[in-house]
Structure 1
């Protein structure tokens, strides 16, 4: 199954970014620390015309700190880019954003040349929470549902620092299947765009490989780590459902309830601090996805009827 979610208001956001970027000095892209590669919007490089970029790896308090360090090094190695990790509800790290923007655009500042910053990111990544923290008041709507912010907002963080907030935006087609599942697991896509059981199974594939001890600690299955890693994810989901009482009539495991339980445990960090991808893993997924997408585009082009040559009169 390919997970896709691009409702109508995201087309408007894409257009708004394209129009606004002409007046922008720095672009802040907020990423989810649990899936930094999958939550990075590939459209932004095209839309933002090579502007200096600050990658804010948000929700670090929910992610694996060792993997967060790998992602920071990955992004900081890129040209015209800085990356910092934070928890958007913590005031001190959030304030570091202003300093980082001035480093990326040192010639901006003061009333004559105020800093103009565009902040963007996928739905439910924490932009509104961060903005409220920066302003010290509740100015932006927040929520745990994708698509809360719907309109662009201009906010003054200082007399010479303007922040333009845009609604959360995914991209028209997700070409990396693993990213689609990771985005769904994190809550970045609408509920009608995915099947809970498929997402939970893909989530368990990653958990039993990278974090088997956390799975055992949470669900107390009595399995060895080797047994955990070698067990098919379908059997693992059934065992979790049975252990946690996600049952239907006749003591049968209810797959839907078990899937919802696993996803909820991941989102709430009840399973522990988890990051679903490393930079190396994501780059492999991306290369494979782009290759398949290119082949698909080629086949689609070959299937079109060739235009007939018109005879000259």
Structure 2
């Protein structure tokens, strides 16, 4: 039985001669892995181990296909933090550090793709791009291809289906939808939803209890939210919501702070990298 996956978007796309009936997302992911000669797994540098997909990696290893690990969003870390990450992730080598925003490491990645596709030895090679939602997969595809061919957005799950794009002579990129492994996905379990939202895999506007997610972020990353909003009180989510809500003008009738709107705004700042992980 094939592993079941749940995805952040319900819409799908198509590639090649697919059946008229739109395939489900699990089939799309399996198709990308099966039809690709080389795979690129894109991960957020801040949450590499948390966002790995062991099942998908297992399929790739079983088929003996090259896997390039790409750690994106390095622009969100300073020099010291980046150095610490290199040490922390040493056991995962080989890997590449990139930033689709600053274009850091893109030429190195291009060279790696060329090497791996040459090793495959085919006249026509497919390179599949996989990863969690909101890791920058489509942004990376756009940078590699050199134009806005893949739709991008800060909202998790923006890519709607598989896209087939020419990278270079004889090499095509397959951009796949972001996927949350089944063990990490739930529409009921609040702890899983909070975890997914913390790592940006579940969009801030699709979280049921955004204040709980903010509270979890404050517990797991002490002081970072308070520092960003210049608030002296540490560790009290109620004070944070009250203070930030008033500063941003998120008010209800009667002068009360709209805590839901405020929490979503804080979560948006977190997911888009404005609140720095220290």
Whether TM exceeds 0.5 here: the answer is yes
SS in 2 for 1:130: helix
Match of 1:55 in 2: 69
CA distance in 2, matches of 1:238, 1:270: 20
1:28 CA drift (Å): 0.5
CA RMSD of superposed structures (Å): 3.3
Report if the CA contact (8 A) 2:32-2:176 is conserved. no
What is the rounded CA distance, in whole Å, between the counterparts of 1:203 and 1:118 in structure 2? 32
Q: In structure 2, do the counterparts of structure 1 residues 178 and 69 end up closer, same or farther at CA, with 3 Å as the change threshold?
A: farther
**Number of equivalenced pairs:** 257
Structure 2: segments with no counterpart, 5+ residues: 1-5, 13-22
Larger gyration radius, structure 1 or structure 2: 1
Partner of 1:141: 151
1:60-139 correspondence runs (5 A): 60-63=74-77, 65-78=79-92, 82-91=94-103, 93-103=105-115, 107-108=119-120, 112-139=122-149
The reply on whether 1:204 has 2:218 as its aligned counterpart is: yes
Q: Match of 2:105, SS?
A: helix
Partner of 1:301: none
State how far apart, in whole Å, the 1-side matches of 2:240 and 2:146 are.
45
Corresponding residue of 1:260: 264
Indicate whether 1:184 and 2:197 are aligned.
yes
Evaluate the alpha carbon distance shift between residue 131 and residue 77 of structure 1 in structure 2; reply closer, same or farther with a 3 A threshold: same
| 3-state DSSP of counterpart to 2:25 | helix
Q: Distance in 2 between matches of 1:260 and 1:13?
A: 27
Other-structure match for 1:274: 277
- Report if aligned partners of 1:141, 1:149 keep a CA contact under 8 Å in 2: yes
Equivalent-residue separation in structure 2 for 1:23 and 1:237 (angstroms): 48
Q: Are the aligned partners of 1:184 and 1:199 in contact in 2 as well (CA < 8 Å)? A: yes
Task: Give every structure 1 segment of 4 or more consecutive aligned residues whose post-TM-superposition deviation is greater than 6 Å.
Answer: 175-179
Whole-angstrom CA distance in 1 between matches of 2:103 and 2:274:
25
TM-superposed CA distance for 1:218, in Å, is 3.2
1:173 correspondence with 2:173: no
Distance in 1 separating the partners of 2:114 and 2:238? 50
The SS at the match of 2:150 is coil
What is the rounded CA distance, in whole Å, between the counterparts of 1:163 and 1:147 in structure 2? 18
Q: Is the 8 A contact 2:166 2:172 kept in 1?
A: yes
Local SS of the residue matching 1:201? helix
Alpha-carbon distance between aligned partners in 1 of 2:41 and 2:82, rounded to the nearest angstrom = 16
The two structures have a TM-score, normalised by structure 1, of 0.68
Note the C-alpha offset of 1:29: 0.8
Residue segments in structure 1 that go unaligned for 5+ positions in a row: 276-313
- Superposed counterparts of 1:265-304, under 5 Å: 265-271=269-275, 273-274=276-277
* Distance in 2, Cα, partners of 1:36 & 1:148: 20
Higher helix proportion, which one? 1
